[in-house]
Amino acid sequence: MRFLLIEDNAELAGAISARMNLDGHVVDHAGTLAEASAFAEAGEYDLILLDVMLPDGDGRDFLRRHRAGQGDTPVIVLTARSQVSDRVGMLDLGADDYVTKPFDHAELEARCRAVLRRRAGTSRTVLRFGDVTFDAVAGQLTVAGRAVALRNRELRLLELLANAPGRIFSKQKLVDRLFSYDEDVSENAVEVYIGRLRKHLDGSDLRITTHRGIGYRLDHDG
């Protein structure tokens, strides 16, 4: 998954990014509202983590503009404000959740997973497709009763495909979701990870179909 982190505290932003990277997520960090707006206009994100107090303005202004522009990316607000009225106000502006500073990183990760599950329209952490069981939270893939070890990017690629079976993802969209702007990669990198996943799923009820010139789709034979 690709996250946009809007946080002016460099130490906190580094800690959050490092934790998310360990789980295979891509994090683009913006320290100001201006940088955040530039990132949001240039890319597509699965989740936005938004600080309220920023050097060039109030994060709530970003949230207001995001929702007014029909942006439907989930937003979790990171706030030091503990008053109920402040939290209610942010939810009414369109925030999907909030975390009060200081927070435990494990709680933030859990809230991210919960928001992403709601966006995908499911409360389940485990997806089952015939003889394939996939738990993105635990990072576990089982094929016909056999445990398969996944690398981080293989895990996140399968998560993208498995949360939208039947949907075609272009190579460029997969590049955008799997790699940060700092990484110099080509669409060929996606082909490598697709090939690895196909080997993992070989002989199962799941297959990754190539739609030439368009992209890839996860299909269930069951």
Q: Are residues 108 and 163 in the same domain?
A: no
pLDDT at residue 211, rounded to an integer: 94
Q: Which of 119, 147, 175 corresponds to the end of one domain? A: 119
Divide the 222 residues of the chain into consecutive groups of 10 and give the mean pLDDT of each group.
94 95 90 95 91 93 89 90 80 91 92 83 74 88 93 91 91 88 84 95 93 93 70
pLDDT at residue 17, rounded to an integer: 95
Q: Which of 83, 102, 119 corresponds to the end of one domain? A: 119
User: For the chain, what is the domain count?
Assistant: 2
The range of the structural domain enclosing residue 198 comes to 126-220
Q: Are residues 136 and 97 in the same domain?
A: no
Residue of 187, 184, 195 whose CA lies nearest to 154: 195
pLDDT at residue 222, rounded to an integer: 61
Q: Are residues 106 and 212 in the same domain?
A: no
Q: Are residues 131 and 202 in the same domain?
A: yes
Give strand ranges (E) for the chain.
2-6, 26-30, 47-51, 53-54, 57-58, 75-79, 97-100, 126-129, 132-135, 140-143, 146-148, 168-169, 206-211, 215-220
Predicted model pTM: 0.75
Give dist(CA 160, CA 141) in Å, integer: 14
Q: Are residues 67 and 130 in the same domain?
A: no
pLDDT at residue 139, rounded to an integer: 85
Q: Which of 103, 119, 135 corresponds to the end of one domain? A: 119
Structure-block tokens of residue 133: 């069981």
pLDDT at residue 104, rounded to an integer: 93
CATH number, position 46:
3.40.50.2300
Give dist(CA 74, CA 21) in Å, integer: 19
Q: Are residues 75 and 113 in the same domain?
A: yes
Q: Are residues 96 and 8 in the same domain?
A: yes
Q: Are residues 133 and 214 in the same domain?
A: yes
Angle, CA of 19, 21 and 24, to the nearest 5°: 125
pLDDT at residue 120, rounded to an integer: 67
Q: Are residues 140 and 34 in the same domain?
A: no
pLDDT at residue 84, rounded to an integer: 81
pLDDT at residue 134, rounded to an integer: 93
Give dist(CA 176, CA 170) in Å, integer: 10
Q: Are residues 7 and 87 in the same domain?
A: yes
Q: Are residues 23 and 76 in the same domain?
A: yes
pLDDT at residue 43, rounded to an integer: 82
